[in-house]
Amino acid sequence: MKPRKMSQAAIVLLIFAACVWVYHVSGSLNLGSNDNIPHTLLALNWLENQTLNFDNFRDSYFFQFGETPYYFSEAPNGHLTSTYPIGTAIVTFPLYLLFFLYLKLNSLVQGLFSGNLSLAINLTSAEFEPTRRTLARLAATLCSALTVVLFYLSARLKFLPSVALLTTFTFAFATSTWVLGSQDLRQHTVSNLLLTALIFCLLKANRTTGRPRQLLFLVAGCFCGLFPSVRLTSAIFVVTALVYVVYFYRREVIFFLLGLPTILLNWAWNSYYFGIENFSRGGYLRQFESGASGYNFSPDYIVEAFFGQLISPSDGFFVFAPVLLFALPGAYLAVRQRAGKDEILVLGLSLACLILFLHYCVYVPWDGGGGSYGPRFLMDVLPVVCLLVGYSLQAIVLKFSTASRPDRVLLALFLGLLLCSTAVEVIGAFSDTAWSKVPLPLIRAPERRWSLSDSQIERHFRNMVARIHPPISDPETYARQIDGVIEQIEWLRQNGTVVPLADQMQIRTGNNRILRATLRNTGQSPWFGYQTGLEGFGETRLELRLWNEAGRPVKLKQDRLYISGTPQPGETATAMALLQLPRQPGTYQAELRLIIEGNANEYMNPDRPPLHRWTITVLPRLKKSAAQES
């Protein structure tokens, strides 16, 4: 018995170490999200500044464009707080306590060697941002690796060792657990950690009696109490677990209920900042009020969201992880075995996942904003779906020794889809593009989700190839051979009207415009447009430069126009972008220049005249009752 336990412990350690290593190796790219900024700062801000609000960040680099970032909220009580629930910060607090102690120790050592001893950590400085991102990625890596370990322990309770390992590999490296969960501390990262821990506790409870089982219920209850604190939608798993424990264990549910008060931490937080009437919603109230989130029950939207979440080329659940198709026969097998406690649990959680999926079919936006590599919202169902895959794999493996040809084909198909799914994750892990924003944000061009010619996976693949083999061997010569002329330039009103751009342009402050140019390659080298994925490796773009009436350059959030295709010398192409022009009324001088993103741009002639010049007049915003676009 002892050798088996030691062997199991060795496997667990090996899985954890392998996940940490793989996740860390791919962690040098910016695969993160701004959503997590508050819960990656909350613990450090409390430990360093002894405050649980973010008032000290109002003058920080996060507010560089003069407006409150969406991830912070001005609470009714006058404090700046997090828009998102704080459960992620609560769960990861032990890690951030260690990070804080490390930062202090590092400051002490550096101070002793430099003679300038200061232990203060300036969290509001832009210089701290790389450290914040590094710690967030490290926390995500460790949480995801622990999640994989708990998934393996759960799978091992149900399946053969080989099936448990293959299913665990699927969960760890062939799904969004790798590219989304492990690369940044997202809400989904911690939600999956809690869900796998809950599954393990309940599966283990089915094999335990007495006080150990009661303790497992208590721990499971604590995890469930934290679910809504991490993601409100994850509350569906709390309901499932509660019904399950009541149905099978009756009075022992009291131990489960004793753990649920962990939810009070988030409720108290929300009540303090947003009022007792918003104890459950908290900062999400601001998102709904601003129109950033909502619901759409129209049939057309539901159909698009249904198929979009499953099979759209740039967000489909089964497109980014086709191996998960084996969850469908797995669900059937679980139904056939539904007499067991384990199967009732898995089916109950599967029903919760289905409800969650249907919820996103009416939620706006169904793709979660489209800023992630793959289906971010459906990441929450991965532990359950991968368990269902295990049921299918178990049935195949049990028949393998006496397998008929169809069974061998099924195993080969599974391994082939597993390879494809892993390859998709490798592409995402070792590439980095702004596909969701270039050439236009998905919110303005939602049809891009269905494009087969420039899908997210394809552009990321091209970007990965460019990182391995940069296309420009001689940047200096290449830059000298780049040239072009603009043949036509126009801008699009928000109602879709196309207006040719003359020497003068008027716009109301706060309005966005799509600027579109037709240009011809008059140089000696091809242009690499946005579809090539060469971001930072030689992509050709148009740069918008702006000067105010005093002749000072004006900084814009978006100052690039993205060129399509790979136009050869003599060919034409289209460049476009959604531009947010200055909010300050006045007259501005604008010009467009051809540039190369990356090192090659250093060799472009700065004295070369711009391709186009014009004047932009920004008018004050009219009152809503009389507002008319210029």
Residue partners of 239: CB distance under 8 A and separation at least 6: 352
What is the residue-wise DSSP string for 237-299?
HHHHHHHHHHHHHGGGHHHHHHHGGGGHHHHHHHHHHH-GGGTTTTTHHHHHHHTSSEE---H
What is the residue-wise DSSP string for 416-446?
HHHHHHHHHHHHHHT----TTTSSS-TTT-G
Does domain 468-601+609-619 fall under CATH 3.30.750.200? My reply is: no
Task: Note the pLDDT of residue 99.
Answer: 97
Give the residues of the chain that fall short of pLDDT 70: 1-6, 27-32, 65-66, 289-292, 401-404, 623-630
- Residue 388, classed as helix, strand or coil, is helix
Task: Note the pLDDT of residue 628.
Answer: 44
Q: Measured between alpha carbons, how far is residue 478 from residues 150, 481, 521, 606 in Å? A: 52, 5, 14, 15
User: CB–CB of 175/327 below 8 Å?
Assistant: no
User: CB–CB of 183/23 below 8 Å?
Assistant: yes
Q: How many CA atoms lie within 13 A of 130 on its CB side?
A: 3
Q: How many CA atoms lie within 13 A of 415 on its CB side?
A: 8
- Axis crossing angle, helix 129-158 with helix 161-173, rounded to the nearest 10: 160
User: CB–CB of 537/471 below 8 Å?
Assistant: yes
What's phi and psi for 518, nearest 5 deg?
-105, 120
The token duo for 167 is 């299913």
Task: Note the pLDDT of residue 66.
Answer: 67
Task: Please give the DSSP secondary-structure letter assigned to residue 115.
Answer: S
Closest CA to 590 of 504, 508, 525, 468: 504
Task: Note the pLDDT of residue 221.
Answer: 97
Length of the chain in terms of residues written = 630
User: CB–CB of 88/230 below 8 Å?
Assistant: yes
If you compute the radius of gyration of the chain from its CA atoms, what whole number of angstroms results? 27
The token duo for 485 is 């002329």
Q: How far is residue 132's CA from residue 359's CA, in Å, rounded to a whole number?
A: 33
The token duo for 51 is 């405050």
577-599 pLDDT tens trace: 998 888 889 999 999 999 999 88
Task: Note the pLDDT of residue 65.
Answer: 65
Q: How far is residue 239's CA from residue 178's CA, in Å, rounded to a whole number?
A: 28
* 612-619 vs 504-508, strand pairing mode: parallel
Task: Note the pLDDT of residue 607.
Answer: 82
The identity of residue 606, as a single letter, is P
pTM here is 0.92
User: CB–CB of 214/404 below 8 Å?
Assistant: no
Task: Note the pLDDT of residue 383.
Answer: 98
89 burial (CB, 10 Å; 0-12 / 13-18 / 19+) is buried
Task: Note the pLDDT of residue 279.
Answer: 84
Residue partners of 344: CB distance under 8 A and separation at least 6: 244, 247, 248, 338
Where are the domain boundaries for CATH 2.70.50.30 in the chain? 468-601+609-619
Task: Note the pLDDT of residue 487.
Answer: 93
Q: Which residues pair with 588 in a beta bridge?
A: 616
Q: Measured between alpha carbons, how far is residue 240 from residues 232, 265, 355, 588 in Å? A: 15, 22, 11, 59
Residue linked to tokens 């191996």: 323
User: CB–CB of 214/202 below 8 Å?
Assistant: no
Task: Note the pLDDT of residue 156.
Answer: 96
User: CB–CB of 326/392 below 8 Å?
Assistant: yes
The token duo for 418 is 């597993």
